[in-house]
Amino acid sequence: MIQKNLALVSGANGHLGNNLVRLLVEKGIPVRATVRNINNKTPFAGLDCEVLQADITDKSSFVKALQGVETFYSVGASFKLWAKDPQKEIYDVNIQGTRNTIEAAAEAGVKRIVYVSSIAALDYTKLPAKESNGYNPDRRDMYYNSKNDGEKIAFELAQKLGIELVSVMPSAMIGSEAFLPLNVSYGVLKLILNKEIPVDTKITLNWIDVKDVAEGCYLAAHKGRAGERYILANEKCMTITDTTMLANSLYPELKIKIPGSVPKFILFLIAGIMEFSAKIKKIPPVLTRKDIAMFSGLQQNFDISKARKELGFNPKSPEQAVKEALDYLMKHQNLLK
Protein backbone atom coordinates (compact mmCIF):
# COMPACT_ATOMS: atom_id res chain seq x y z
CA MET A 1 0.00 0.00 0.00
CA ILE A 2 1.33 3.46 -0.96
CA GLN A 3 2.28 5.60 2.04
CA LYS A 4 1.26 9.23 1.45
CA ASN A 5 4.22 11.41 0.44
CA LEU A 6 6.81 8.69 1.16
CA ALA A 7 9.90 9.40 -0.98
CA LEU A 8 12.80 7.11 -1.73
CA VAL A 9 16.20 8.53 -2.68
CA SER A 10 18.70 6.11 -4.18
CA GLY A 11 22.44 6.78 -3.96
CA ALA A 12 21.59 8.65 -0.77
CA ASN A 13 25.15 8.82 0.57
CA GLY A 14 26.36 10.53 -2.63
CA HIS A 15 26.67 14.30 -2.99
CA LEU A 16 23.29 15.02 -4.61
CA GLY A 17 21.50 12.11 -2.94
CA ASN A 18 22.48 13.16 0.56
CA ASN A 19 21.64 16.84 0.04
CA LEU A 20 18.30 15.82 -1.47
CA VAL A 21 17.53 13.66 1.58
CA ARG A 22 18.33 16.66 3.81
CA LEU A 23 16.03 18.93 1.80
CA LEU A 24 13.11 16.48 1.90
CA VAL A 25 13.54 15.91 5.64
CA GLU A 26 13.52 19.71 6.17
CA LYS A 27 10.25 19.88 4.22
CA GLY A 28 8.70 17.27 6.54
CA ILE A 29 8.52 14.58 3.87
CA PRO A 30 9.00 10.98 5.07
CA VAL A 31 12.20 9.72 3.43
CA ARG A 32 13.63 6.28 2.78
CA ALA A 33 17.28 6.46 1.77
CA THR A 34 19.03 3.60 -0.02
CA VAL A 35 22.77 2.98 -0.08
CA ARG A 36 24.90 0.25 -1.57
CA ASN A 37 27.03 -0.05 1.58
CA ILE A 38 24.79 -0.10 4.65
CA ASN A 39 27.82 0.37 6.94
CA ASN A 40 28.36 3.89 5.57
CA LYS A 41 25.90 5.76 7.82
CA THR A 42 28.00 8.85 8.60
CA PRO A 43 26.15 11.00 5.99
CA PHE A 44 22.86 10.34 7.84
CA ALA A 45 23.92 11.34 11.36
CA GLY A 46 21.12 13.37 12.94
CA LEU A 47 18.78 12.91 9.96
CA ASP A 48 15.26 11.60 10.57
CA CYS A 49 15.11 9.10 7.72
CA GLU A 50 15.04 5.36 7.13
CA VAL A 51 18.26 3.93 5.66
CA LEU A 52 18.15 0.68 3.69
CA GLN A 53 20.65 -1.34 1.65
CA ALA A 54 19.87 -1.55 -2.07
CA ASP A 55 22.07 -1.84 -5.15
CA ILE A 56 20.98 -0.65 -8.61
CA THR A 57 22.57 -3.80 -10.08
CA ASP A 58 20.23 -5.94 -7.90
CA LYS A 59 16.63 -5.46 -8.99
CA SER A 60 15.14 -7.51 -6.12
CA SER A 61 16.71 -5.17 -3.54
CA PHE A 62 14.83 -2.23 -5.09
CA VAL A 63 11.53 -4.11 -5.39
CA LYS A 64 11.70 -4.48 -1.58
CA ALA A 65 12.98 -0.95 -0.90
CA LEU A 66 10.30 0.71 -3.06
CA GLN A 67 7.33 -0.91 -1.32
CA GLY A 68 4.87 1.80 -0.24
CA VAL A 69 6.83 4.58 -1.94
CA GLU A 70 4.91 7.35 -3.73
CA THR A 71 7.84 9.25 -5.32
CA PHE A 72 11.15 7.69 -6.33
CA TYR A 73 14.14 9.99 -6.80
CA SER A 74 16.45 7.91 -9.00
CA VAL A 75 19.81 9.44 -8.11
CA GLY A 76 22.08 6.40 -7.69
CA ALA A 77 24.53 5.84 -10.56
CA SER A 78 28.19 5.29 -11.33
CA PHE A 79 29.44 8.88 -11.62
CA LYS A 80 33.01 8.84 -12.88
CA LEU A 81 34.79 9.75 -16.09
CA TRP A 82 37.58 7.18 -15.71
CA ALA A 83 37.68 3.47 -14.91
CA LYS A 84 39.93 0.50 -15.69
CA ASP A 85 37.03 -1.03 -17.64
CA PRO A 86 34.66 1.87 -18.53
CA GLN A 87 32.18 -0.35 -20.37
CA LYS A 88 31.73 -2.68 -17.40
CA GLU A 89 32.21 -0.26 -14.47
CA ILE A 90 30.31 2.75 -15.84
CA TYR A 91 28.15 2.03 -18.88
CA ASP A 92 26.81 -1.41 -17.97
CA VAL A 93 26.18 -0.42 -14.33
CA ASN A 94 24.18 2.68 -15.29
CA ILE A 95 22.19 1.07 -18.09
CA GLN A 96 21.30 -2.03 -16.08
CA GLY A 97 20.67 0.11 -13.04
CA THR A 98 18.16 2.22 -14.97
CA ARG A 99 16.30 -0.87 -16.17
CA ASN A 100 16.34 -2.53 -12.75
CA THR A 101 15.12 0.44 -10.73
CA ILE A 102 12.36 1.54 -13.11
CA GLU A 103 11.03 -2.02 -13.47
CA ALA A 104 11.22 -2.39 -9.68
CA ALA A 105 9.34 0.89 -9.20
CA ALA A 106 6.56 -0.28 -11.51
CA GLU A 107 6.30 -3.61 -9.68
CA ALA A 108 6.13 -1.82 -6.32
CA GLY A 109 3.37 0.53 -7.51
CA VAL A 110 5.39 3.76 -7.37
CA LYS A 111 3.43 6.64 -8.88
CA ARG A 112 6.19 9.01 -9.98
CA ILE A 113 9.91 8.93 -10.75
CA VAL A 114 12.33 11.84 -10.91
CA TYR A 115 15.15 10.41 -13.00
CA VAL A 116 18.49 12.15 -12.53
CA SER A 117 20.14 12.30 -15.93
CA SER A 118 22.89 14.80 -16.79
CA ILE A 119 23.79 17.66 -19.10
CA ALA A 120 25.99 14.95 -20.66
CA ALA A 121 22.76 13.82 -22.37
CA LEU A 122 22.42 17.10 -24.28
CA ASP A 123 23.51 18.11 -27.77
CA TYR A 124 25.99 20.99 -27.40
CA THR A 125 26.29 21.79 -31.10
CA LYS A 126 23.77 24.67 -30.84
CA LEU A 127 24.32 27.16 -28.02
CA PRO A 128 22.83 27.89 -25.64
CA ALA A 129 21.94 24.19 -25.41
CA LYS A 130 18.35 23.40 -24.47
CA GLU A 131 16.24 20.30 -23.87
CA SER A 132 14.81 20.29 -27.38
CA ASN A 133 18.31 20.03 -28.91
CA GLY A 134 18.10 16.28 -28.48
CA TYR A 135 20.84 13.91 -27.38
CA ASN A 136 24.62 14.25 -27.38
CA PRO A 137 26.09 12.85 -30.63
CA ASP A 138 29.60 12.55 -29.11
CA ARG A 139 30.13 8.85 -28.32
CA ARG A 140 33.73 8.96 -27.02
CA ASP A 141 32.97 8.71 -23.31
CA MET A 142 31.27 5.79 -21.54
CA TYR A 143 29.75 7.96 -18.79
CA TYR A 144 28.27 10.32 -21.39
CA ASN A 145 27.02 7.32 -23.39
CA SER A 146 25.40 5.83 -20.29
CA LYS A 147 23.55 9.07 -19.59
CA ASN A 148 22.32 9.46 -23.18
CA ASP A 149 21.22 5.85 -23.57
CA GLY A 150 19.99 5.57 -19.98
CA GLU A 151 17.62 8.51 -20.26
CA LYS A 152 16.14 7.15 -23.50
CA ILE A 153 15.60 3.75 -21.87
CA ALA A 154 14.07 5.42 -18.80
CA PHE A 155 11.44 7.24 -20.86
CA GLU A 156 10.69 4.14 -22.97
CA LEU A 157 10.28 1.89 -19.92
CA ALA A 158 8.16 4.41 -18.01
CA GLN A 159 5.77 4.75 -20.95
CA LYS A 160 5.61 0.99 -21.43
CA LEU A 161 5.03 0.29 -17.73
CA GLY A 162 2.56 3.17 -17.20
CA ILE A 163 4.57 5.16 -14.67
CA GLU A 164 5.08 8.95 -14.62
CA LEU A 165 8.72 9.89 -15.17
CA VAL A 166 10.38 13.32 -15.30
CA SER A 167 14.06 13.69 -16.17
CA VAL A 168 16.35 16.34 -14.69
CA MET A 169 19.78 17.15 -16.10
CA PRO A 170 22.21 18.70 -13.61
CA SER A 171 25.53 20.29 -14.52
CA ALA A 172 28.71 20.32 -12.35
CA MET A 173 27.42 20.08 -8.78
CA ILE A 174 29.39 21.64 -5.94
CA GLY A 175 28.83 23.04 -2.46
CA SER A 176 27.14 22.17 0.79
CA GLU A 177 27.38 18.88 2.67
CA ALA A 178 30.00 16.53 1.26
CA PHE A 179 31.83 13.40 2.33
CA LEU A 180 34.88 11.62 0.97
CA PRO A 181 35.36 10.63 -1.74
CA LEU A 182 34.35 13.95 -3.34
CA ASN A 183 32.46 13.81 -6.63
CA VAL A 184 34.22 14.69 -9.90
CA SER A 185 33.06 18.34 -9.88
CA TYR A 186 33.90 19.07 -6.25
CA GLY A 187 37.20 17.31 -6.91
CA VAL A 188 38.18 20.04 -9.39
CA LEU A 189 37.87 22.67 -6.65
CA LYS A 190 39.95 20.45 -4.40
CA LEU A 191 42.67 20.32 -7.09
CA ILE A 192 42.60 24.12 -7.34
CA LEU A 193 42.98 24.65 -3.59
CA ASN A 194 45.74 22.02 -3.47
CA LYS A 195 47.54 23.77 -6.37
CA GLU A 196 47.44 20.66 -8.55
CA ILE A 197 46.38 22.24 -11.86
CA PRO A 198 49.63 23.11 -13.69
CA VAL A 199 48.35 24.38 -17.05
CA ASP A 200 45.33 26.06 -18.63
CA THR A 201 43.37 23.19 -20.18
CA LYS A 202 40.70 25.51 -21.71
CA ILE A 203 38.15 23.19 -20.08
CA THR A 204 34.93 24.85 -18.89
CA LEU A 205 32.46 23.71 -16.26
CA ASN A 206 28.90 24.85 -15.66
CA TRP A 207 28.93 25.23 -11.89
CA ILE A 208 25.69 24.71 -9.96
CA ASP A 209 25.05 24.58 -6.22
CA VAL A 210 23.99 21.05 -5.25
CA LYS A 211 21.25 22.51 -3.01
CA ASP A 212 19.74 24.21 -6.07
CA VAL A 213 19.78 20.87 -7.90
CA ALA A 214 18.13 19.16 -4.91
CA GLU A 215 15.43 21.86 -4.94
CA GLY A 216 15.07 21.35 -8.71
CA CYS A 217 14.51 17.62 -8.18
CA TYR A 218 11.81 18.35 -5.61
CA LEU A 219 10.16 20.89 -7.94
CA ALA A 220 10.31 18.37 -10.80
CA ALA A 221 8.47 15.82 -8.63
CA HIS A 222 5.64 18.27 -7.97
CA LYS A 223 5.53 20.49 -11.07
CA GLY A 224 7.38 18.63 -13.82
CA ARG A 225 5.43 17.21 -16.73
CA ALA A 226 5.70 13.45 -17.21
CA GLY A 227 7.81 12.58 -20.24
CA GLU A 228 9.67 15.91 -20.14
CA ARG A 229 13.32 16.76 -19.39
CA TYR A 230 14.57 19.80 -17.50
CA ILE A 231 18.06 21.32 -17.37
CA LEU A 232 19.23 22.09 -13.82
CA ALA A 233 22.24 24.27 -14.55
CA ASN A 234 23.33 27.90 -14.89
CA GLU A 235 23.20 29.89 -18.12
CA LYS A 236 26.95 30.46 -18.34
CA CYS A 237 29.99 28.25 -17.82
CA MET A 238 33.39 29.17 -16.34
CA THR A 239 36.81 27.93 -17.35
CA ILE A 240 38.81 26.08 -14.72
CA THR A 241 41.39 28.87 -15.06
CA ASP A 242 38.76 31.57 -14.32
CA THR A 243 37.67 29.48 -11.34
CA THR A 244 41.31 29.33 -10.18
CA MET A 245 41.58 33.12 -10.48
CA LEU A 246 38.45 33.47 -8.33
CA ALA A 247 39.91 31.11 -5.71
CA ASN A 248 43.16 33.09 -5.71
CA SER A 249 41.32 36.36 -5.14
CA LEU A 250 39.36 34.86 -2.25
CA TYR A 251 42.35 33.20 -0.58
CA PRO A 252 45.45 35.24 -1.50
CA GLU A 253 47.31 33.68 1.42
CA LEU A 254 47.34 30.36 -0.44
CA LYS A 255 49.26 31.95 -3.34
CA ILE A 256 47.57 29.77 -5.94
CA LYS A 257 49.42 30.02 -9.23
CA ILE A 258 47.25 30.86 -12.25
CA PRO A 259 47.73 28.08 -14.85
CA GLY A 260 49.63 29.19 -17.95
CA SER A 261 48.47 28.62 -21.52
CA VAL A 262 50.29 26.02 -23.64
CA PRO A 263 49.75 24.62 -27.17
CA LYS A 264 47.24 21.79 -27.43
CA PHE A 265 49.86 19.19 -28.35
CA ILE A 266 51.59 19.97 -25.03
CA LEU A 267 48.28 19.40 -23.23
CA PHE A 268 48.00 15.97 -24.89
CA LEU A 269 51.59 15.22 -23.89
CA ILE A 270 50.98 16.23 -20.24
CA ALA A 271 47.75 14.20 -20.14
CA GLY A 272 49.56 11.17 -21.58
CA ILE A 273 52.23 11.41 -18.88
CA MET A 274 49.54 11.71 -16.19
CA GLU A 275 47.78 8.62 -17.55
CA PHE A 276 51.03 6.65 -17.54
CA SER A 277 51.85 7.76 -13.99
CA ALA A 278 48.34 6.94 -12.76
CA LYS A 279 48.55 3.46 -14.30
CA ILE A 280 51.74 2.74 -12.36
CA LYS A 281 50.28 4.14 -9.12
CA LYS A 282 46.92 2.41 -9.82
CA ILE A 283 44.92 5.61 -9.25
CA PRO A 284 42.65 7.64 -11.57
CA PRO A 285 44.60 10.24 -13.62
CA VAL A 286 43.97 13.94 -12.95
CA LEU A 287 43.77 14.55 -16.71
CA THR A 288 43.41 12.23 -19.71
CA ARG A 289 43.92 12.70 -23.44
CA LYS A 290 40.20 12.00 -23.86
CA ASP A 291 39.41 14.91 -21.50
CA ILE A 292 41.46 17.25 -23.70
CA ALA A 293 39.96 15.88 -26.93
CA MET A 294 36.35 16.13 -25.70
CA PHE A 295 36.28 19.10 -23.38
CA SER A 296 39.09 21.56 -24.11
CA GLY A 297 37.35 24.63 -25.55
CA LEU A 298 33.85 23.10 -25.25
CA GLN A 299 31.35 25.73 -24.14
CA GLN A 300 28.69 24.59 -21.68
CA ASN A 301 26.11 27.37 -21.82
CA PHE A 302 22.44 26.50 -21.35
CA ASP A 303 18.97 27.87 -21.91
CA ILE A 304 17.25 27.10 -18.60
CA SER A 305 14.06 29.04 -19.36
CA LYS A 306 11.97 25.85 -19.40
CA ALA A 307 13.03 24.88 -15.86
CA ARG A 308 12.61 28.48 -14.70
CA LYS A 309 9.11 28.80 -16.17
CA GLU A 310 7.65 25.35 -15.50
CA LEU A 311 9.39 24.40 -12.25
CA GLY A 312 10.24 27.75 -10.68
CA PHE A 313 13.92 26.80 -10.73
CA ASN A 314 16.07 29.77 -9.72
CA PRO A 315 19.73 28.87 -9.06
CA LYS A 316 22.36 31.12 -7.50
CA SER A 317 25.05 32.38 -9.88
CA PRO A 318 28.03 30.16 -10.73
CA GLU A 319 30.38 32.64 -9.04
CA GLN A 320 28.37 32.50 -5.81
CA ALA A 321 28.16 28.71 -6.00
CA VAL A 322 31.95 28.51 -6.37
CA LYS A 323 32.57 30.96 -3.51
CA GLU A 324 30.35 28.98 -1.12
CA ALA A 325 31.82 25.64 -2.20
CA LEU A 326 35.40 26.85 -1.74
CA ASP A 327 34.45 28.23 1.68
CA TYR A 328 33.00 24.84 2.65
CA LEU A 329 36.19 23.04 1.60
CA MET A 330 38.38 25.53 3.46
CA LYS A 331 36.33 24.98 6.61
CA HIS A 332 36.49 21.19 6.19
CA GLN A 333 40.19 20.64 5.65
CA ASN A 334 39.80 16.87 5.98
CA LEU A 335 38.14 16.91 2.53
CA LEU A 336 41.28 18.46 0.99
CA LYS A 337 43.60 15.62 2.05
Is residue 265 within 8 A of residue 202, CB to CB? The reply is: no
Is residue 205 within 8 A of residue 171, CB to CB? The reply is: yes
Mean pLDDT of 5-24: 96
Mean pLDDT of 35-52: 91
pTM of the predicted model as reported, rounded to 2 decimal places: 0.95
Say what percent of the chain tops pLDDT 70.
Answer: 99
pLDDT, one tens digit per residue, over 241-274 is: 999 999 999 999 999 999 999 999 999 999 999 9
pLDDT, one tens digit per residue, over 46-71 is: 999 999 999 999 999 999 999 999 99
Mean pLDDT of 76-97: 89
pLDDT, one tens digit per residue, over 319-332 is: 999 999 999 999 99
In this model, does residue 155 exceed pLDDT 80?
yes
pLDDT, one tens digit per residue, over 118-135 is: 999 999 989 999 999 999
In this model, does residue 195 exceed pLDDT 90?
yes
In this model, does residue 2 exceed pLDDT 70?
no
Q: What is the pLDDT of residue 251?
A: 96
**Which long-range CB contacts under 8 A does 59-64 form with residues at least 24 apart?**
59/99, 59/100, 59/101, 59/103, 59/104, 60/104, 61/34, 62/10, 62/34, 62/100, 62/101, 62/104, 62/105, 62/108, 63/104, 63/107, 63/108
Mean pLDDT of 285-301: 92
Query: CA–CA separation, 104 vs 116, rounded Å?
Result: 17
Domains defined for the chain, CATH in brackets: 7-182+207-236+301-316 (3.40.50.720)
Strand partners of residue 174: 209
Query: CA–CA separation, 294 vs 268, rounded Å?
Result: 12
Range with top average pLDDT, 138-147, 184-193, 216-225, 272-281: 216-225
Q: What is the pLDDT of residue 148?
A: 96
In this model, does residue 279 exceed pLDDT 90?
no
Mean pLDDT of 138-160: 95
